[in-house]
C-alpha cells in the first residue's frame, strides 16, 4: 500500500503531538485520509517517506517561490551556521536585508524582523493602536492573519457585528475590539466605520486574499479603503505575509498601486526559515521600542540563519524576472485546467493572480468568504486525493491557494494538467 510509512509515522506522532501535527492545516482534516510525511524536497518536487514523488503546489504554503533546497539559499544558511547560530546581539546582516527590503517595497522606510507571520500581524496591530491611540480594528471574514487572539474571530452573518471568538481561550473582552467586514464590500466597511466613529485604529486586510482560496480585490475596493482610512484617521494595514515578494518585488502595493500604512511580511521573506516582519514609514515605526513606547521584542528575532536565507532569497528575487516567469507559468496552468475541466463538464471557478491560483467547484464567482464556502467539498476531496495518487500535491483544503514555484517546468505543468484531466473523469 502507498503511504504505508506515512501512516505508521502519523500513528506514532499522534501519541506525542496533538493531532500528530504542529500546525492544524497539515492534518488532512478537510479532505480525510492520512497526511503524507515529507522526507526531502528538491526544486519542484517533494518526496514522501514512502519514496513517492510529487509535483509541488504548496511550497511550504508559500515560501519556496524559487523551489525547494534552492542552492544559493542553502549555501548561505550553511555558511552562516558554521559561524554560530544566535548571539542576542545586533548583526550586520540584519541591516543588509532591511536595506534591501526597504528598497524593494514601496512606501516603507523601516522594517522590524520577527519570527512568524502571526507575530508580524499581531505587532502591526499593536503599533497601529499605539500610534492612533484607538482600540478597535476591522478585519475581513475569511482573511487569516495568524493565530493571535484578536484575529480568531468568527464571521457573523449580520452586516455589522461585534466579533465573537471562534476558539475557546479567546475572551469576549478581546473579541469586542475586532469588527468583521465582508471582503470586497466597501459599503459594509463604511457602515462599520460610521457605527464606530473615532474608535477604529486600523483596517487589516490580505490585499489579495489567499486563505479562502485566491480572491483578488474587485476594482476600486482597495482604493476605497485607502480613501476611507484617510478620511477617518485609520491606518491601513496590508497583511502581505502571503503576497509580499510573491506577486511582485513590492507586493500588492506595487502590483495594484495602492499604498498601505503598515505592511506585514512572512513566508517568502524568510526563504523557508522562520521569519516575519512588519514595516511602515518612519513616523509610524519610531513609535516602537526602544525608540518609542510600543513594546515589541524577540530573543531569536533577526536570527542570523534566518536572515541569511531571507537575504539570499530577496537578492535573487530583486535581480531576475522571476515574477513575469511565474505569471506566465500560472497563466499556462490556468488555461490547461480550464480546458480539461470544461471538456469534462465540471462546474468550477478558477481565480488567479500572479503565481497564486485556486480552483473552486461552484457555479458563482468566488469574491468573498460566503461565495468561497459554497464550493462543493465532496468534489474537492475527490479532486485532492485523485491528484495526490497521481503525484500532484495541492493544499489539503478547498480554502487554500496553490502557490507556484519558479522551479516548475512546462513539462511539470503539462503533467499536472494531464493528471487533472484524468481525475476530472472520476468527479
Ligand X SMILES: *Cc1c(COP(=O)(O)O)cnc(C)c1O
Q: Which residues are catalytic?
A: 144, 239, 267
C-alpha to C-alpha distance for 25 and 18, rounded to whole angstroms: 13
Q: What share of the chain is helix, strand, coil (3-state, %, to 5)?
A: 40, 20, 40
**Residue 397 C-beta: closest distance to ligand X, Å:** 13
Query: DSSP letters of 398-409?
Result: TT--EE--TT--
CA dihedral of 222, 225, 231, 234, whole degrees rounded to 10: -120
Q: Given the complex with ligand X, which of 123 and 376 has the nearer CB atom?
A: 123
Q: Given the complex with ligand X, which of 317 and 423 has the nearer CB atom?
A: 317
The residues binding ligand X (CB under 6 A) are 116-118, 121, 144-146, 206, 210-211, 239, 241-242, 266, 276
DSSP category for residue 216: P
**Residue 241 C-beta: closest distance to ligand X, Å:** 4
Query: DSSP letters of 260-303?
Result: -SEEEE-GGGGTTSS-EEEEE-HHHHTTBTTTSSB----TTTT-
**Residue 50 C-beta: closest distance to ligand X, Å:** 27
Q: Given the complex with ligand X, which of 146 and 217 has the nearer CB atom?
A: 146
Residue with cell 524593494: 104
CB atoms within 10 A of CB 191: 14
**Residue 382 C-beta: closest distance to ligand X, Å:** 26
Q: Given the complex with ligand X, which of 275 and 317 has the nearer CB atom?
A: 275
**Residue 146 C-beta: closest distance to ligand X, Å:** 4
Which residues have C-beta within 8 Å of that of residue 117, sequence separation ≥ 6?
145, 146, 239, 241, 264, 265, 266, 267, 276
- Which residue in the shown chain puts its C-beta closest to ligand X? 117
Q: Given the complex with ligand X, which of 277 and 417 has the nearer CB atom?
A: 277
Residue with cell 461585534: 162
**Residue 252 C-beta: closest distance to ligand X, Å:** 11
CA angle (104 as vertex; 99, 106 as ends), nearest 5: 110
b/e code 72-83 from CB counts within 10 Å (16+ = b): ebeebbeebeee
Query: How far is C-alpha 224 from the geometric centre of its chain's CA atoms?
Result: 23
CB atoms within 10 A of CB 319: 8
Would you call 136 helix, strand, or coil by DSSP?
strand
**Residue 278 C-beta: closest distance to ligand X, Å:** 11
Q: Given the complex with ligand X, which of 66 and 242 has the nearer CB atom?
A: 242
Q: Given the complex with ligand X, which of 130 and 210 has the nearer CB atom?
A: 210
**Residue 403 C-beta: closest distance to ligand X, Å:** 10
Residue with cell 497601529: 128
DSSP category for residue 108: -
Rg of the chain in Å (alpha carbons): 21
> Are the C-beta atoms of 257 and 220 separated by less than 8 Å?
no
Q: Given the complex with ligand X, which of 97 and 124 has the nearer CB atom?
A: 124
In Å, what is the CA distance from 248 to each residue of 70, 101, 216, 308, 324? Answer: 20, 12, 14, 21, 9
Amino acid at each position: 500500500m502507498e503511504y504505508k510509512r506515512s501512516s505508521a509515522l502519523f500513528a506514532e506522532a499522534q501519541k506525542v503531538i496533538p493531532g500528530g501535527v504542529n500546525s492544524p492545516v497539515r492534518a488532512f482534516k478537510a479532505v480525510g485520509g492520512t497526511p503524507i510525511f515529507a522526507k526531502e524536497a528538491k526544486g519542484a518536487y517533494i518526496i514522501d517517506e514512502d519514496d513517492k514523488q510529487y509535483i509541488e503546489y504548496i511550497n511550504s504554503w508559500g515560501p519556496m517561490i524559487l523551489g525547494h533546497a534552492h542552492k544559493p539559499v542553502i549555501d548561505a544558511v550553511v555558511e552562516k551556521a558554521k559561524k554560530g547560530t544566535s548571539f542576542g546581539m545586533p548583526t550586520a546582516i540584519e541591516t543588509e536585508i532591511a536595506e534591501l527590503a526597504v528598497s524593494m517595497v514601496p512606501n516603507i522606510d523601516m522594517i522590524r524582523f520577527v519570527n512568524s507571520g502571526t507575530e508580524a500581524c499581531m505587532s502591526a496591530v499593536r503599533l497601529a493602536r499605539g500610534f492612533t491611540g484607538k482600540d478597535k480594528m476591522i478585519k475581513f471574514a475569511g482573511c487569516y492573519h495568524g493565530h493571535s487572539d484578536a484575529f480568531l474571530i468568527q464571521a457573523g452573518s449580520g452586516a455589522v457585528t461585534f466579533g465573537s471568538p471562534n476558539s475557546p481561550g479567546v475572551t469576549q473582552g478581546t473579541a469586542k475590539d475586532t469588527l468583521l467586514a465582508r471582503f470586497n464590500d466597501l459599503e459594509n466597511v463604511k457602515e462599520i466605520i460610521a457605527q464606530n466613529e473615532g474608535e477604529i485604529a486600523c483596517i487589516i486586510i490580505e490585499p489579495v486574499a489567499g486563505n479562502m482560496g485566491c480572491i483578488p480585490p474587485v476594482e476600486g475596493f482597495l482604493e476605497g479603503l485607502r480613501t476611507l482610512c484617510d478620511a477617518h484617521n485609520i491606518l491601513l494595514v496590508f497583511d502581505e505575509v502571503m503576497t509580499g515578494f510573491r506577486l511582485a518585488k513590492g507586493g500588492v502595493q506595487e502590483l495594484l498601486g495602492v499604498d498601505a500604512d503598515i505592511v506585514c511580511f512572512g513566508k517568502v521573506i524568510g526563504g523557508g526559515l522562520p521569519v516575519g516582519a512588519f514595516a511602515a514609514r518612519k513616523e509610524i515605526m519610531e513609535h516602537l521600542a526602544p525608540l518609542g513606547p510600543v513594546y515589541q521584542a524577540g530573543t531569536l528575532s533577526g536570527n542570523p540563519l534566518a536572515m541569511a536565507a531571507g537575504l539570499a532569497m530577496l537578492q535573487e528575487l530583486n535581480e531576475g524576472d522571476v515574477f513575469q516567469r511565474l505569471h506566465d507559468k500560472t497563466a499556462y496552468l490556468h488555461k490547461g485546467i480550464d480546458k480539461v475541466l470544461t471538456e469534462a463538464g465540471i462546474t468550477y471557478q478558477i481565480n488567479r493572480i500572479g503565481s497564486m491560483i485556486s480552483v473552486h467547484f461552484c457555479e458563482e464567482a468566488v469574491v468573498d468568504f460566503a461565495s468561497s464556502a459554497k464550493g462543493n467539498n465532496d468534489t474537492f476531496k475527490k479532486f485532492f486525493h485523485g491528484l495526490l495518487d497521481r503525484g500532484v500535491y495541492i493544499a489539503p483544503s478547498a480554502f487554500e491557494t496553490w502557490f507556484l514555484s519558479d522551479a516548475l517546468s512546462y513539462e511539470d505543468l503539462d503533467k499536472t494538467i494531464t493528471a487533472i484531466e484524468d481525475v476530472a473523469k472520476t468527479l
